[in-house]
Structure 1
Amino acid sequence: MSSDSFFHSFRDVGLSANDSEEMRLNKSLLIFATGLISAASMLWLLLYWQLGPRFSSTIPFIFQLLLTGNLLLYFKTRNFTLFRTTQLGLFLFMPFVAQWSMGNFITASGISLWGLLAPIGAILFFGVRESLAWFIAYLFLTALSGFFDFYLADMAAMEASHVPLRTSIFFFALNFAAVSSIVYLLLRFATLEKQKLQERMVEAHALLQAEQERSERLLLNILPGAVAERLKHSNQTIADGFADVTVMFADIVNFTKVAEGLSPQQVFSMLNRIFSSFDELAEAYGLEKIKTIGDAYMVAGGLSQEREEYSDAIADLALAVRDLLHRDFEVNRMHLEVRIGIGTGPVVAGVVGKKKFIYDLWGDTVNIASRITTEGVPGMIQVDETTYRRLRDRYDFYEPQTLYLKGKGNMTVYRLAGKRSDGGTGSSLGAVPTEVTG
């Protein structure tokens, strides 16, 4: 195992799958700090024995045992709150105990500076607010040591000390360098881990944003934009009444008979090509597709304020659908015909159900548009009288026809021929050509 792999394994050994990212960082930092301080204290003791007098190794050895024992206890209990408190307590008190056993600031080469790691660690492991108590404790112990050194130090004992001045200066520098290095490494490690956490959060946010946009697109493919917004921000039932809406149905002629000789995949492919083309046309004319019902296609205008002349837009869409099937045999490979019916009047619109919901329209206007479609002639566009009166100044119509509609009786319908180009005040083209009615 490489040293880098060992480091990561050691750092991550106390982590839990349920830990938050911040908790994982705190645990890794404290384990990392424990390893650094243990290694540095062993190196300190080895150098002191090489360059200085043979002080007792009891206190540094006890410090190592306490650090290691506390770490092993944490690995067993996974009680991080207890672990970080006791470990920081060792970081704070043991350097002062070691200094007091050696004499004073000078003879101990300022070893109490190591206690500064406790309040610094508290900032990282507890938080800024909680670290204040640790820093005050460090200042108190430093002041207490200074008080005893100033008033009680035995100058004769200091002069009789076997610690050479050069050795004392060396360990002053060593202590400052070691503590500074550990502080730097801890802060560097914390910063790098927070950067990685930030990158993961940015990546997760980007994925969430992409998923949200995908969900938005899916929702807008099911519901009108305004309805989708209301549904996202409210759990209330969505049902609206509209005084004037133009509804269009397009029904494929003889679809059942044509589909009998095709495989399911071929049937799906055929409908998908045709209805996808209808979707593109409806979007181009600013109209709202409502749904497909088997081989029938339903679209409406007037459900929003995006386009005022929605009846004209429906008429233009109907003509475009008819012409598309007549000319584009890449879309209409089976040379299918459609019946188209248009009705105008009041409707009720809303979202039905809580699961697999749809946005739908109800009312007499919808029924009329559906029935004049069913009773229509292949290749023709039939409209009710309300729609005819609204369009007659800008569109050409054949002479009116009388149809019997179930539940409505006899009704006059008008067959749309095309859009006028002469700007006249209305026109009737006479009887429907025989080649159209068939």
Structure 2
Amino acid sequence: MRLHLLHLYHRLRTSGIDAGDSDELRMQKRLLALLGGLFSIAAGVWLLTYWLTGTDLPAFIPLLAQCVIALNMLAYAQWRNFVLYRNILISTLLIFPCIAQWALGDFVTASGLILWGMLAPITALLCLGMRESAPWFVAYLILVVLTGVADYLLPGVGLTQATISREVGVLFFTLNFATLSAVVFQCLRFSARERSRAQHLLEQAHAKLANEQARSERLLLNILPAPIADRLRASDDTIVDGCPEAVVMFADIVNFTGMASDLPPVEIFRILNHVFSKFDDLVEATGLEKIKTIGDAYMVAGGLSEAPGDSCAAMAELALEMRRWISEDATAAERGLQLRIGICCGPVVAGVVGRRKFIYDLWGDAVNLASRISSECPPGLIQCDSRTFAKLKYRFIFEDPVTLRLKGKGMVSVWRLLARGNDPAPEAPRYTTVDIDFSRLD
């Protein structure tokens, strides 16, 4: 029995709800269906109780109210005019308690039935809002005042001549007040629960939005440096910067193209992802910027921002660490992987190209020279241009320079970086004055 009642209650609450309805509209429809059902039940209980007490009262008023509510719901189910359905239901809640009071006579005889009309402005407040519910409340007050004036000017006048004892009157005063209070409390409780549920869903949506925003932020920072990402979010202007003293490195995997021709695509991806993921960790630890990967080449740059630190020395440290790791890694050793690395210092232009699927890239002579130095580098070595050597020669160990013929550059001297240097940079020579006694010389 309890399950059947719960099922009926659920069907009453969800009647007339469409799949495309908003959360607010769903709440209004559930509330109106609940109120219509509770009002019809209250009207039946009111009439049954009067009959059981032996009071001869007209039955057509509560029956008419029940019929109007039922026909209104059927009309809504047929034509889906929710505004008309809502207005008819609120009007029914407002008018029929007044008609029932007038039919019985005065406030005392009717046990304050007109108070049920308060459901109309309450329903309007919950469904329409504060401003739209004000006319309904004013209409309710007008009906109450008119009823009071009629009771004062025409005492004992009503559609029926029912006589109700004091005991029955007190019983129905108590019943009306208790029932009406229960209905109002149930409506407010329903509204509070629905709004709490909507608030919970809104908080979940906000949390999901925050997670998606954080995820998008991480993806954006994986594509662009943080300062560039901030500028891109703040403005749609073209982003281009001149960097007068940048350092650029290209690291190529030796003979990877030939090796990849004998491997399935999945294996090629696995090897590159393994190597470049480690390089990403190393770059992040040094504070440099990964620019992009081009096939089996890995491009890194430093000195693109005003962040403190020696980006040229950090690039040399990174190159040595990359070479050390790939010589010790089991996967790289299994495939015999080696690197050829080229490092160059100089002015570059950095910016974001395009509007869709954009990329942060570098242009300039230093970029071209670093790429050519790496492509002409013997396997396992690190080659630097003259400007890089000039900045690092007191802190790192280099081989004597070699001269390369580079396409578009002619003859270029490069230095091969061997290891970190432990000796500090030499100080400038100090000069002292010495007094010599020439008389004692032979």
TM-score by length of 1: 0.92
TM-aligned CA deviation for residue 263 of structure 1: 2.1
Q: Does the 8 A contact of 1:352 with 1:358 survive in 2?
A: yes
Residues 1:267 and 2:268 aligned together: yes
- Indicate the larger mover: 1-10 or 75-84: 1-10
Q: Does 1:305 align with 2:306?
A: yes
Task: Give the Å deviation of 1:137.
Answer: 1.5
1:73 equivalent among 61, 72, 75: 75
AA matched with 1:126 = L
Q: Could you tell me how far 1:112 is from its partner in structure 2? A: 0.5
Number of equivalenced pairs: 424
SS in structure 2 of the partner of residue 82 of structure 1: helix
| 2-structure distance, mates of 1:208, 1:43 | 49
State whether residues 322 and 338 of structure 1, in contact with CA within 8 Å, keep that contact through their aligned partners in structure 2.
yes
String of CA shifts for 1:209-251, please: whole Å, max 9, x gaps. Answer: 2222222111111111122222233333322222121000001
1:12-411 maps to which residues of 2 (within 5 A)? 12-154=14-156, 161-411=162-412
After superposing the two structures, state which structure 1 stretch, 189-198 or 176-185, moved more.
189-198
What is the alpha-carbon distance in structure 1 between the residues aligned to residue 145 and residue 372 of structure 2? 97
Determine the C-alpha separation between the residues in 2 that align with 1:117 and 1:131: 11
Deviation at 1:76, TM superposition (A): 2.0
Cα distance, 1:349 vs structure 2 = 1.5
Cα distance between partner residues in 2 of 1:247 and 1:424: 24
Which residue type is aligned with residue 19 of structure 2? A
Deviations 1:340-397 (A, max 9, x none): 0011111112222333322111111100000000111111111111111111221121
* Pairing 1:418-429 to 2, within 5 Å after superposition: 418-425=419-426
Q: Tell me the distance in 2 between the aligned counterparts of 1:34 and 1:405.
A: 89
Could you tell me which residue of structure 1 aligns to residue 430 of structure 2?
A: none
Would the aligned equivalents of 1:286 and 1:307 in 2 still touch at CA under 8 Å? Answer: no
Matched residue SS, 2:330: coil
Matches of 1:404 and 1:128 in 2, distance apart?
A: 84
Alpha carbons 2:106, 2:156 under 8 Å: kept: no
Which amino acid in structure 2 is aligned with residue 375 of structure 1? E
C-alpha contact (below 8 Å) 1:325/1:335 kept by paired residues: no
The amino acid across from 2:74 in the alignment is: L
* Residue aligned with 1:291, SS: strand
Q: Secondary structure at the match of 1:343?
A: strand
Work out the percentage of aligned pairs sharing the same amino acid: 48
1:344 and 1:136 mapped to 2: Cα distance?
82
> C-alpha separation between the residues in 2 aligned to 1:331 and 1:202?
48
Pair 1:162–1:13, CA change in 2 (3 A): closer
Q: Is the 8 A contact 1:251 1:373 kept in 2?
A: yes
Q: Identify the residue that residue 429 of structure 1 maps to in structure 2.
A: none
Moved more, 160-169 or 134-143: 160-169
User: Could you tell me which amino acid in structure 2 is paired with residue 398 of structure 1?
Assistant: E
Per the alignment, in what secondary structure is the counterpart of residue 179 of structure 2? Answer: helix
| In structure 1, C-alpha distance between the alignment counterparts of 2:188 and 2:372, rounded to whole Å | 76
In structure 2, the partner of 1:436 is none
Instruction: Note if contact 2:395-2:420 (Cα within 8 Å) is conserved in structure 1.
Output: yes
Opposite residue 257 of structure 1, the aligned amino acid is G
> What are the within-5 Å matches in structure 2 for residues 409-420 of structure 1?
409-420=410-421
Deviation at 1:52, TM superposition (A): 4.0
Hey, what's the Cα distance between the residues in 2 that align with 1:371 and 1:12? Answer: 72
Amino acid of the structure 1 residue aligned with 2:236: N
**Compared CA separation, residues 69 and 392, structure 1 to 2 (3 A):** same
Letter in 1 for 2:369: I
User: What is the CA deviation profile of residues 306-326 of structure 1, one whole-angstrom value per residue up to 9, with x for unaligned ones?
Assistant: 343111111110010111112
Distance of 1:424 and 1:225 partners within structure 2: 34
1-side partners of 2:273 and 2:293: how far apart?
11
Q: Is the 8 A contact 1:274 1:332 kept in 2?
A: no
Please give the alpha-carbon distance, in whole angstroms, between the structure 1 residues aligned to 2:231 and 2:244: 20
SS at match of 1:333: helix
Mapped to 2, the partners of 1:162 and 1:337 lie a distance apart of: 109
- Tell me which amino acid in the other structure corresponds to 2:76: Y
Query: Contact between 2:251 and 2:298, CA under 8 Å: does it hold in 1?
Result: yes
**Aligned partners of 1:241, 1:86: CA distance in 2, in Å?**
71
Point out where structure 2 has 5 or more consecutive residues left out of the alignment.
Answer: 428-442
Shift of 1:332: 4.2
Q: Which residue of structure 2 lines up, in the alignment, with residue 433 of structure 1?
A: none
Q: Structure 2 vs 1, CA of residues 340 and 363 (structure 1 numbering), >3 Å: closer, same or farther? A: same
**C-alpha distance in structure 1 between counterparts of 2:33 and 2:107, whole Å:** 29
Structure 1 segments (4+ residues) deviating >4 Å: none
